[in-house]
Amino acid sequence: MNRKRAQIVGQVFIYILAIVAFAAILGFGYIIIDILLQKQCDVKSIKFKTDLESTFTGIFGSYGKVRNNLDFTLPCETKKVCFVDFDNSVKICDSGLATPQACNYMDTYTDYDKTEQNVFLDPPSEIKLKVSPIKFDKDVSTYCISAKSGRIKLRLEGKGTYVQVSEALPLIK
């Protein structure tokens, strides 16, 4: 009879050990997946920055060069992108449209050469985005585009000394 009791105690110990091992594997897996998702967001941020900067660089200085329907995938959780023209004489920031970070930059910096960035994401990102000098169709200092399914579509036109930014025109089929 003593053997059966020892076997039952041994089985309980094995079950407890199995539960602890399962919980450790599950917890470790959750942590690794969370780290991978964070790295994915970091990669998207860097890709957005390099794509945006290289596109603006390719158009800047080319007077009359137009690129419509430029599709940019935004970093994780980004709701809108705001562009700021620091050289515009009208230094009014519409806080209802622009991000608070963009409005603060406009209050702090007076011209393009002194700024560290002229493209702002909502919510704010750690990555600083500064593209060539920009202007807009209308005489405004800020221009924001809301994300649609984590993407924005732009129309960029080279004007020689700056790039004119607007939302992409719809394609005619």
For residue 118, tell me if it sits in a domain: yes
For residue 15, tell me if it sits in a domain: no
In whole angstroms, give the CA distance from residue 78 to residue 162. Answer: 26
For residue 145, tell me if it sits in a domain: yes
Domain residue limits at 52: 39-167
Per-residue pLDDT of the chain (173 residues; tens, 9 = 90+): 455 655 666 788 888 999 999 999 999 999 999 999 888 888 999 999 999 999 999 998 889 888 888 899 999 889 999 999 888 777 777 777 788 888 888 888 878 888 889 999 988 888 889 999 999 888 788 888 999 999 999 999 999 899 999 888 776 65
For residue 141, tell me if it sits in a domain: yes
Instruction: Look up the pTM and report it.
Output: 0.77
The pLDDT of residue 7 is 65
For residue 4, tell me if it sits in a domain: no
Collapsed DSSP state (helix, strand, coil) of residue 151: strand
The residue count for the chain: 173
In whole angstroms, give the CA distance from residue 163 to residue 4. Answer: 84
Quote the number of domains for the chain. 1
Through-space distance between the first and last CA atoms of the chain, rounded to whole angstroms: 86
For residue 50, tell me if it sits in a domain: yes
In whole angstroms, give the CA distance from residue 93 to residue 136. Answer: 14
For residue 5, tell me if it sits in a domain: no
For residue 8, tell me if it sits in a domain: no
